[in-house]
């Protein structure tokens, strides 16, 4: 990203309203699957968005001895 960045707080602060570029929705979806969304933005310098998504569905514990299934 070579953009100018933005104020993350201003984009995410109005709950219940569609604001900005959908960051609130992205954050909510990550929480629902047990993931995480992190936004780093500095006005005038650019923005980084990092997303962590678990490989195992929430509530499912996979043990090292369990090879799993192939689909």
* Residues 16-56 pLDDT 10s: 555 556 888 888 889 888 999 998 988 888 889 999 998 87
- Please state whether beta strands 46-52 and 36-42 pair in parallel, antiparallel, or not at all (unpaired): antiparallel
Indicate the helix (H) or strand (E) that contains 27.
Answer: helix 23-32
Mean pLDDT over 7-17 rounds to 57
- pTM of the predicted model, to two decimals? 0.49
Phi, psi of 55 (to 5 degrees): -80, -20
pLDDT at 7: 64
pLDDT at 45: 85
Q: Predicted confidence band at 11 (pLDDT cuts at 50, 70, 90)?
A: low
């Amino acid at each position: 990203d070579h953009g100018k960045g933005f104020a993350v707080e201003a984009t995410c602060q109005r709950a219940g309203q569609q604001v900005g570029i959908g960051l609130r929705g992205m954050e909510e979806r990550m929480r629902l699957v047990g993931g995480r969304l992190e936004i780093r933005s500095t006005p005038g310098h650019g923005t980084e968005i990092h997303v962590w998504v678990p490989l195992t569905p929430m509530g499912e514990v996979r043990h090292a001895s369990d090879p799993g299934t192939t689909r």
